[in-house]
Structure 1
């Protein structure tokens, strides 16, 4: 029996793993409208859910980073109560489960959700409550990544939160925000604290800024994973026959440092010219530890299945390639080793084996 080309419908059915997804970038438009009404927020461009979804898409695909970032002002504005945070977290996990995701790590910045008086702990507990309810209802496991904003000075507070709640559902720590002018070494004390506490962390690096950002994240800060990491391509000479890796690229590959790549988002923000020209094609061919992610599902108008389907169209990937990306992600998750193995051998590989050799119904 010949192997079928992966279709979007079939991709939705296989078990998938997501490591880079922002909570405030994945709200349902209808939920934004509901929460704005309940909270009295009157800044939305429209209160019609369909029109609002279209507005987010237009702003996010404009090619302007400023317009792209403007969209988050609206989502964050309606996420200022414990009830709103719990609802958004629950719906996030529910949407991922419906897309076939079996394990996810979803990140958010607690400091952005305290405008109406919530404490950092209350923010974390509200989000964890939503994820826990979704696990009970839908079976999906979601770990939270608490994020510090790199242009602020609260990273130690947030790092301490990550450690305090790591046995309650917080999987790790992250820093996010503009890379240029805000190198990860500004938060070195937080990263050194996390290392002393045997805690996991990823760092947004190599998206809006180049190799120095990646180098600092790894060699100074000790990042377990790289958020995006697209610009590692700048240290690879792919001209002519074969590809020559610079010392940093070779180190990233040799050490199996995971790259949390988000193709649609990278095209939107200008980090890649198109899906077909995205560095993920070369990096996969060179066997870097590449993972596929959504970044912001609302702004990108995307799902993890749609990201995979776009890569199938652009690079001709097979079920084996999609399984390779998925196993990479599971190997790289901030989850107990035995649980990772259980998901790989008991869920992911059997799921892909079934998809690979089962013909779709006519």
Structure 2
């Protein structure tokens, strides 16, 4: 596990205490290992480890295969223990507690209700159970003096044929905590166009959409997300860098040109929900290298793309948003201003009314200003 010292910026600023926003955070990818053990025992689910530390290590080992399909297999275990109302509510409640512990002031939790019906729950009952847990978690942290806002992102599995049904579910619960829609799962071979009816419906309902794209597939996937999905954000989106071409370079600078898709995404400030550690684990950035320093996030950031930083799956990557920011700071020399920019980008991208986004931005600015003043 990472130590607290690794989360310190020069001057002693504790990254964990800085206000943060988490936009790409999977509910079934953020369970506490001890919770998995306890729920598995209660429901007769086989677990590949006997202690929470061993189970945490098992997830890391399994998820370092370097490709998305193997990475996704670990969800068989987490989903298996999230098939009851009590299990879903507990996981959601603890998820909110963990976000608050990480300094997150606004989080969007994405998950796929269609994967949680094995023990008789209806789609609506799963959403209600998760919302119940979220509200319990918010109450828990508020008693500790921490304010946090949480929204659900209802996800359809892109390889299944329930997109429209799940889109209707999301809209049905827009007054019960659901703020947006997503499609996830095996990306290659399952473009957003396969769910065009769902996206047409969501557009007619003025309902926000983010789409996993540019992670396990390239520019065609991103193009379909934008055209067929009308995506307001791109889930990961890092392979947009395939549309950035080096023109020339010298000892100090690299000069590039943007292809039409990259130009569109940058100029229209379509947010990229990057998840650095996860992107390395799934091979999303293998075209550029195997280490964090090779990740195209810095290129995208320097070119003015609206980059946000996320965890994707805390359990699978053994990470937190604090840790992701710390790793980026170490790799690319980012300072407090850079980390603040990532949070302001996320605030602007949140699926909230503009007044609420502005309040988030103000909270971010105040928190980072306080941290800056502590250095004086």
8 Å Cα contact 2:113/2:154 also seen in 1: yes
Q: Does 1:55 align with 2:58?
A: yes
Q: Aligned to 1:31, which of 17, 28, 35?
A: 35
Question: Mean Cα displacement is larger for which, 313-322 or 138-147?
Answer: 138-147
8 Å Cα contact 1:6/1:312 also seen in 2: no
C-alpha distance after superposition, 1:14-47 (max 9, x if no partner): 1000000100001000000000011121x21123
Q: Which residue of 1 aligns with 2:230?
A: 222
The structure-2 alpha-carbon separation of the partners of 1:5 and 1:51, relative to structure 1 and needing over 3 Å to count, comes to closer
Q: Which residue of 2 aligns with 1:13?
A: 17
Q: Which residue of 1 aligns with 2:282?
A: 269
Q: Does 1:181 align with 2:189?
A: yes
1:55: Cα distance to partner? 0.8
8 Å Cα contact 2:222/2:237 also seen in 1: yes
The structure-2 alpha-carbon separation of the partners of 1:144 and 1:40, relative to structure 1 and needing over 3 Å to count, comes to same
Q: Aligned to 2:202, which of 194, 206, 215?
A: 194
Alignment: residue pair count: 355
8 Å Cα contact 2:191/2:224 also seen in 1: yes
1:8: Cα distance to partner? 8.9
Once residues 68 and 342 of structure 1 are traced to their aligned partners in structure 2, the CA distance between those partners, rounded to angstroms, is 36
Q: Which runs of 4+ in 1 moved over 6 A?
A: none
1:50: Cα distance to partner? 1.3
1:7: Cα distance to partner? 7.9
Q: Aligned to 2:219, which of 208, 211, 219?
A: 211
1:277: Cα distance to partner? 0.8
1:58: Cα distance to partner? 1.1
TM-score (norm 2): 0.92
Question: Mean Cα displacement is larger for which, 351-360 or 159-168?
Answer: 351-360
8 Å Cα contact 2:212/2:236 also seen in 1: yes
Q: Which residue of 1 aligns with 2:26?
A: 22
Once residues 286 and 145 of structure 1 are traced to their aligned partners in structure 2, the CA distance between those partners, rounded to angstroms, is 29
Q: Which residue of 1 aligns with 2:270?
A: 257
Once residues 20 and 9 of structure 1 are traced to their aligned partners in structure 2, the CA distance between those partners, rounded to angstroms, is 25
Q: Does 1:350 align with 2:358?
A: no
Equivalent residues in 2 for 1:61-210, closer than 5 Å? 61-138=64-141, 139-210=147-218
Once residues 64 and 263 of structure 1 are traced to their aligned partners in structure 2, the CA distance between those partners, rounded to angstroms, is 14
The structure-2 alpha-carbon separation of the partners of 1:179 and 1:99, relative to structure 1 and needing over 3 Å to count, comes to same
Q: Does 1:247 align with 2:247?
A: no
8 Å Cα contact 2:68/2:186 also seen in 1: no
Q: Which residue of 1 aligns with 2:348?
A: 331
Once residues 213 and 318 of structure 1 are traced to their aligned partners in structure 2, the CA distance between those partners, rounded to angstroms, is 33
Once residues 151 and 230 of structure 1 are traced to their aligned partners in structure 2, the CA distance between those partners, rounded to angstroms, is 21
1:221: Cα distance to partner? 2.2
- For the residue of structure 2 that corresponds to 1:204, the secondary structure is strand
8 Å Cα contact 1:26/1:92 also seen in 2: yes
Once residues 66 and 332 of structure 1 are traced to their aligned partners in structure 2, the CA distance between those partners, rounded to angstroms, is 28
Q: Which residue of 1 aligns with 2:338?
A: 321
Equivalent residues in 2 for 1:279-294, closer than 5 Å? 279-294=296-311
C-alpha distance after superposition, 1:273-332 (max 9, x if no partner): 221111100000001011000000000000000000000011000110000000000100
Q: Structure 2: which 5+ runs fail to align?
A: 1-7, 142-146
Once residues 223 and 64 of structure 1 are traced to their aligned partners in structure 2, the CA distance between those partners, rounded to angstroms, is 24
TM-score (norm 1): 0.95
- For the residue of structure 1 that corresponds to 2:48, the secondary structure is coil
Once residues 129 and 100 of structure 1 are traced to their aligned partners in structure 2, the CA distance between those partners, rounded to angstroms, is 22
- For the residue of structure 2 that corresponds to 1:168, the secondary structure is coil
Provide the aligned C-alpha RMSD in A: 1.5
Once residues 58 and 166 of structure 2 are traced to their aligned partners in structure 1, the CA distance between those partners, rounded to angstroms, is 32
Once residues 12 and 215 of structure 2 are traced to their aligned partners in structure 1, the CA distance between those partners, rounded to angstroms, is 27
8 Å Cα contact 1:207/1:271 also seen in 2: yes
Once residues 156 and 103 of structure 1 are traced to their aligned partners in structure 2, the CA distance between those partners, rounded to angstroms, is 28
C-alpha distance after superposition, 1:29-74 (max 9, x if no partner): 0000000011121x21123111111111111123354442221110
